[in-house]
């Protein structure tokens, strides 16, 4: 994005927080967006309420380090070298919310309150972090200039942060103080006009009605204005990025918004899944594929944002700026929700957990582990290795579902799998001194699970092992009839689950485990091969065979009814 120097007015506006005004210069084709952003900055960053400016600077710096983006880091090196305990609680809070928003929970809010921050301060902290995410999104997409390469000395995640990294499903809202809007509160009508109600995410912030007003203006100027991109396109951006971020609330609310605008729920579901509806234009597909790359740092990015790809589909500069601004606003809103735990205003069609982050990263099937900046388990493992047994609890909680599903897939029975899951964790605890960090801890743990599961299987059925299978040479697809366009719709979810379960359990073990690790547990090819002690080509060959065998089992349930008699022929 080209752009002239920022106007003096913008520089004055943002100077107190050292935002590089180039972010605004790059958006100058869209003055209404800059105006809305500055209003948010004024309400959130420059007002001192529950948090001091020094605290807010500290939050900005922490978020910027999560983006590895120096653009909106406040330049105040003195602060970080003089942190109080109170600051480290704030930094840990910001690191969790900025870097790992989908894992954020009530516990994080309680930890900050235990450090002496009250509800108004927590609310301001969440709003400040959300604003920083918005500015970092803009800077990342619009100002990739070399001058903003990550500065040296960006702090890594602190130990206190690492101690809080776990996923527990906790219900919000997290703040206890709740106030009704004052009688003169003027944006209630605006929400009702555009949404039909006041969404919970805004009701949760009524301790700061001035901020809610600034947010309402941002919605009007960025989402609702239709002079550049249509409202539906922007709602789709909001939906696609919220799905990439794993934000249940915004997927539910804006799926509903789209249905009010006449878009079918099935259409929105496809956008959420990253599998675009057949009637969607190539330009719209390109738009959503590109903006998904601007999701929060915790999401799996399918690559670097490329405005050139949008220009190639005929998008103009101002349209691209608006798409990026809409992405930034989405990250702002999603962060507010992750931080405040606002409950969805509508029953969600889909509830996300961190497990889903990889699924929305279409079209590539990157897994969560491949893009994590570091092995997040390592600090916990080190603590356990140093004798802190309690640190093992976090590892159990984080990995129990993956270990369980591996064992359930090997053993079949749920009760057996639950017992075996406990055995796996006990073995891992006993052997943790042998874990040297050559692989990810999760890979090592899964290999313990596979060994435990196959030992149990061998005791039960001596003829079955991972390496010896019934003769499957000469396997050749037999079912060659076209499947229904949306086969999922032919069976209820519970029937599909039963069908998949039976089909997976019928696979010979060596193919079954490959499918379990790659397609059910979503390990990368490299991780799955490492966990099984196989070469990558060997793993790929087993996976392909397993998938083809599964296809064969599932086909009778999913072929098009009109095609039941016509089988194409292999040559």
Q: Does residue 481 touch another protein according to CB under 8 A?
A: yes
Q: At what angle do helices 85-99 and 53-67 cross, to 10 degrees?
A: 40
Q: Does residue 365 touch another protein according to CB under 8 A?
A: yes
Torsion angle of the four alpha carbons 245, 248, 253, 254, in this order, in degrees rounded to the nearest 10: 30
The nearer residue to another protein, 215 or 377, going by C-beta atoms, is: 377
Q: Are 32 and 112 in contact (CB under 8 A)?
A: no
User: For another protein, what does the binding mask look like between residues 534 and 563, x meaning CB under 8 A?
Assistant: ------xx-xx--xx-xx--xx--x-----
Q: Does residue 387 touch another protein according to CB under 8 A?
A: yes
How many beta carbons lie within 10 A of that of residue 69, not counting itself?
Answer: 23
Q: Does residue 438 touch another protein according to CB under 8 A?
A: no
What residues from 6 to 45 belong to the interface with another protein (CB under 8 A)?
none
Q: Which of 105, 421, 452, 527 binds another protein (CB under 8 A)?
A: 421
H/E stretch holding 259 reads helix 248-260
Where does this chain touch another protein (CB under 8 A) — which range of 96-104, 122-130, 137-145, 417-425? 417-425
Q: Which of 124, 89, 131 is nearest to 108 (CA)?
A: 89
Q: Are 450 and 410 in contact (CB under 8 A)?
A: yes
The nearer residue to another protein, 170 or 439, going by C-beta atoms, is: 170
Instruction: Give dist(CA 33, CA 29) in Å, integer.
Output: 9
Q: Which of 425, 435, 441, 511 binds another protein (CB under 8 A)?
A: 425
Q: Are 442 and 531 in contact (CB under 8 A)?
A: no
Full 3-state SS string of 98-151: HHCHHHCCHHHHHHHHHCCCCHHHHHHHHHHHHHHHHHHHHHHHHCCCHHHCCC
**Shortest distance (Å) from residue 507 CB to another protein:** 11
The reply to whether omega before 173 is within 30° of 0 (cis) is yes
Q: Does residue 134 touch another protein according to CB under 8 A?
A: no
Q: Which of 389, 459, 463, 473 binds another protein (CB under 8 A)?
A: 389
**Shortest distance (Å) from residue 169 CB to another protein:** 6
Q: Does residue 265 touch another protein according to CB under 8 A?
A: no
Instruction: Give dist(CA 562, CA 484) in Å, integer.
Output: 10
Q: Does residue 270 touch another protein according to CB under 8 A?
A: no
Where does this chain touch another protein (CB under 8 A) — which range of 59-67, 310-318, 453-461, 483-491? 483-491
Q: How far apart are the first and last CA of the chain?
A: 52
CA distances (Å), origin 189, targets 183, 193, 333, 449: 12, 6, 20, 56
In this structure, what DSSP letter does residue 205 have? Answer: T
How many positions of this chain bind another protein (CB under 8 A)?
A: 63
**Shortest distance (Å) from residue 266 CB to another protein:** 15
Q: Does residue 489 touch another protein according to CB under 8 A?
A: no
User: For another protein, what does the binding mask look like between residues 316 and 335, x meaning CB under 8 A?
Assistant: --------------------
Q: Does residue 404 touch another protein according to CB under 8 A?
A: yes
Residue 87 φ then ψ, to 5°: -70, -40
Per CB under 8 A, residues contacting another protein are: 169, 275, 359, 363-365, 387, 389-390, 392-393, 396-397, 400-401, 404-405, 408-409, 417-418, 421-422, 425-426, 429, 476-477, 479-483, 487-488, 493, 496-498, 500-501, 504, 515-516, 519-520, 522, 525, 540-541, 543-544, 547-548, 550-551, 554-555, 558, 568-571
């Amino acid at each position: 994005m080209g752009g002239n120097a920022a106007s003096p007015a913008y520089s004055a506006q943002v100077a107190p927080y050292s935002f590089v005004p180039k972010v605004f210069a790059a958006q100058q084709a869209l003055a209404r967006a800059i105006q809305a952003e500055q209003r948010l900055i004024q309400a959130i960053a420059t007002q001192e309420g529950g948090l001091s400016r020094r605290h807010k600077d500290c939050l900005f710096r922490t978020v910027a380090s999560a983006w590895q983006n120096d653009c909106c880091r406040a330049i105040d090196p003195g602060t970080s070298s003089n942190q109080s305990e109170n600051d480290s609680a704030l930094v840990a809070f910001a690191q969790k919310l900025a870097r790992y928003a989908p894992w954020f929970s009530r516990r994080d809010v309680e930890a900050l309150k235990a450090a002496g921050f009250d509800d108004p301060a927590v609310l301001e902290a969440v709003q400040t972090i959300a604003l920083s995410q918005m500015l970092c999104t803009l800077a990342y997409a619009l100002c990739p200039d070399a001058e903003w390469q990550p500065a040296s000395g960006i702090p890594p995640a602190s130990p206190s942060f690492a101690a809080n990294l776990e996923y527990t499903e906790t219900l919000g809202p997290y703040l206890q103080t709740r106030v009704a809007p004052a009688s003169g509160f003027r944006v209630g009508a605006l929400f009702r006009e555009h949404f039909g109600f006041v969404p919970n995410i805004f009701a949760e912030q009524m301790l700061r009605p001035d901020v809610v007003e600034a947010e309402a203006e941002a919605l009007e100027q960025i989402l609702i204005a239709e002079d550049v991109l249509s409202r539906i396109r922007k709602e789709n951006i909001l939906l696609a990025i919220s799905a990439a971020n794993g934000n249940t609330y915004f997927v539910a609310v804006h799926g509903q918004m789209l249905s009010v605008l006449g878009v079918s729920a099935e259409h929105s579901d496809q956008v959420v899944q990253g599998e675009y509806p057949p009637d969607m234009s190539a330009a719209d597909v390109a738009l959503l594929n590109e903006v998904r790359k601007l999701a929060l740092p915790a999401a799996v990015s399918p690559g670097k944002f490329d405005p050139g790809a949008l220009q190639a589909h005929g998008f103009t500069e101002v349209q691209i700026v608006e798409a990026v601004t809409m992405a930034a606003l989405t990250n702002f809103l999603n962060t507010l929700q992750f931080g405040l735990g606002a409950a969805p205003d509508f029953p969600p069609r889909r509830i996300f957990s961190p497990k889903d982050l990889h699924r929305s990263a279409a079209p590539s099937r990157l897994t969560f582990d491949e893009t994590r900046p570091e092995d997040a388990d390592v600090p916990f493992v080190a603590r356990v290795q140093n004798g802190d047994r309690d640190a093992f609890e976090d590892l159990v909680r984080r990995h129990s579902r993956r270990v369980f599903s591996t064992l359930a897939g090997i053993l079949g029975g749920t009760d057996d799998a639950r017992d075996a899951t406990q055995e796996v964790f006990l073995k891992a605890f006993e052997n943790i001194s042998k874990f040297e960090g050559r692989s990810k801890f999760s890979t090592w743990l899964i290999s313990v699970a596979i060994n435990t599961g196959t030992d149990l299987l061998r005791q039960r059925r001596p003829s079955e092992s991972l390496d010896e299978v019934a003769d499957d040479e000469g396997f050749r697809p037999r079912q060659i009839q076209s499947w229904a366009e949306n086969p999922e719709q032919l069976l209820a979810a519970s029937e599909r689950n039963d069908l998949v379960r039976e089909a997976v359990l019928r696979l010979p073990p060596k193919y079954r485990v490959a499918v379990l690790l790659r397609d059910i547990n979503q390990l990368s090819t490299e991780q799955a091969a490492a966990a099984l002690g196989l070469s990558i080509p060997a793993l790929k060959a087993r996976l392909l065979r397993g998938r083809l065998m599964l296809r064969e089992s599932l086909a009778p349930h999913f072929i098009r009814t009109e095609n039941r008699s016509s089988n194409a022929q292999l040559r």
